[in-house]
Amino acid sequence: MSNKDKILAYKEILSAYRNGDEERYPDAFEDAFAALESLPELAQWFEQDQQFDDEFRTALNDFEVPEQKAIQTEPAKRIHFPLLKLAAAAVFVLVLGGIFLNFNETRQNQRAAALVDELRRDLTAFAASSFDLDAMNNDLTVLQELITSRGGSKGPILKDVFEKGLPMGCKIVELDSHTVSLYCFANDQQQIVHAFVLPINDLNGARAAKHMRAIVEYTDRDTGGWISGDSAYMLVSSMPGVDIKPFLLPAQEIYSVALKRNSVPATVAMTLVEFQ
Amino acid sequence: MTEQIKAEIHYDSLYRFAVSLTRQSIDAEDLVHQTYLKWLKNRDAIRDTDRTKSWLFTTLHREFLHSLKTKTKHTLMETEQLEMLAPGKSPDTGNKLDAEYVMALMQRVPEPFRASLSLFYIQDFSYREIAEVLDVAPGTVMSRIFRGKQILKELMTTIKHGQPAESGGGAS
């Protein structure tokens, strides 16, 4: 094999290389990597190829994706005539009540926004204060049992949201009339992110969801949350500069879709759909 | 993680993979939808839930190949994507590549190179995982990625120098 052919063969192998592949498949890239030492032309090509990969991959993964559609498989049920009559009557009643409800809804939304804002301030103030945890443990199940035994919200989805976080401890926090559960997690940089959980009824129900999504900074700490089931979740940086986004954004994406889109999310639809 | 979450977190990547294959956002959405429906029907049979990702991508690719058989000719690219590849239209974004532009480029890469290249860039699949998804030999994937990149680079050079990129589904 000529030198030119060798280089071409190595290029073909190296072209498929991704970070970490040398550990997963040591045999596959061993020769090609060794050749990089002795063939400067190949080394230069490889460097440029890796740079091209990085740029292309970044750009391609920025390609905009439309919101997920709820997956439904069951055909729409036929509405029978008596049902239509009932529906017409219901529409009439709804129209009459609409004006009142609309007015009431606006007021309720304003109240939810105010409550969320107040909650953010209270929680960051608490995070900035000095406090002791009720328990320290790296087992989330143990922490959740302790919290629920003391009347706090369990936060059932925390296990999924903080899959890459290490549980550190928990505490029941009394804020005005709210009983708030606090779970502390360490991220991969050993920084602590606080996860506060409370019943959504304390925040005027699910209306609070849209006011919780934005990341808002109070006293140099980031706050942001979502709603899932009967619980509202608010993440707060334990210290200035601690990033909550790696946990917050995926959680919002998965758990707040229904409220963001005003429709049933695929997750829920998947759960609801039944197959014969 | 629950099974639903495991499946849903791949939605964005599946959609991008589907767009690169179908060249049409509507077809891509249908393809992803179809894939999730299949997953819903078969998820009880997928014993190893860690394989959800590769199962979804394998199924989407198979669905795409199946859809090709039922069509008489390749789907044309969407107008906006064609415009992205008009002569001299490479986006002026400094050194950064633009998402619409690179997707339009990717869609111009002919099969069988495109599927390997899409998986290589869109998901964090290794070449062996790509081989599994596409049901080809690992060596074939290496060749296709290499050749696919060459085509991409040629396309970029062609567009930069003001020569039109062909539309439609023909090979470059």
Q: Taking CB atoms and an 8 Å cutoff, what residues of chain B touch A28?
A: 127, 138
Which pLDDT does position A235 carry in this prediction?
Answer: 95
Mean residue pLDDT of chain A comes to 78
Which pLDDT does position B163 carry in this prediction?
Answer: 57
Question: What span, in angstroms and rounded, lies between the C-alpha atoms of A201 and A268?
Answer: 21
The half-sphere exposure of A28 on its side-chain side, counting CA atoms within 13 A, is 21
Which pLDDT does position A174 carry in this prediction?
Answer: 87
How many angstroms away from the CA of A37 is the closest CA of chain B? 21
Residues A15, B145: C-beta atoms closer than 8 Å:
yes
Give the helix ranges, DSSP H, for A16-80: 21-24, 26-38, 40-60
Task: Please answer whether residues A193 and A237 qualify as being in contact, where contact means their C-beta atoms are separated by less than 8 angstroms.
Answer: yes
Task: Please answer whether residues B81 and B91 qualify as being in contact, where contact means their C-beta atoms are separated by less than 8 angstroms.
Answer: no
**When comparing pLDDT for B130 and A271, which is higher?**
B130
Q: Is the ipTM of this complex over 0.85?
A: no
Give me A29's structure tokens. Answer: 């890239």
Task: Please answer whether residues A138 and A168 qualify as being in contact, where contact means their C-beta atoms are separated by less than 8 angstroms.
Answer: yes
* DSSP letter (8 states) at residue B112: T
Note whether A275 contacts B: Cβ–Cβ < 8 A.
Answer: yes
Task: Please answer whether residues B112 and B144 qualify as being in contact, where contact means their C-beta atoms are separated by less than 8 angstroms.
Answer: yes
Phi then psi dihedrals of residue A130, to 5 deg: -95, 130
Give me A34's structure tokens. Answer: 């060794």
Rounded mean pLDDT of A158-170? 89
Sequence-distant (≥ 6) Cβ neighbours of residue A17 within 8 angstroms: A29, A32, A50
Question: What span, in angstroms and rounded, lies between the C-alpha atoms of A15 and B149?
Answer: 8
Question: What span, in angstroms and rounded, lies between the C-alpha atoms of A213 and B45?
Answer: 36
Task: Please answer whether residues B169 and B75 qualify as being in contact, where contact means their C-beta atoms are separated by less than 8 angstroms.
Answer: yes
pLDDT-derived band at A143 (thresholds 50, 70, 90) equals: very high
Residue with tokens 């996860």: A195
Q: Taking CB atoms and an 8 Å cutoff, what residues of chain B touch A58?
A: 97
First to last CA, chain A: 60
Instruction: List the one residue out of A186, A269, A197 whose CA is nearest residue A232.
Output: A197
Rounded mean pLDDT of A143-157? 91
Note whether A13 contacts B: Cβ–Cβ < 8 A.
Answer: yes
Q: Which pLDDT tens digits describe chain B residue by residue (172 residues)?
A: 456 666 677 888 899 999 999 887 888 888 888 888 888 888 777 766 667 888 999 999 999 988 876 654 444 444 445 455 554 555 544 545 788 888 888 888 888 899 999 999 988 788 999 999 999 999 999 999 999 999 989 888 877 666 555 443 333 3
Residues A59, B124: C-beta atoms closer than 8 Å:
no
Residues B40, A270: C-beta atoms closer than 8 Å:
yes
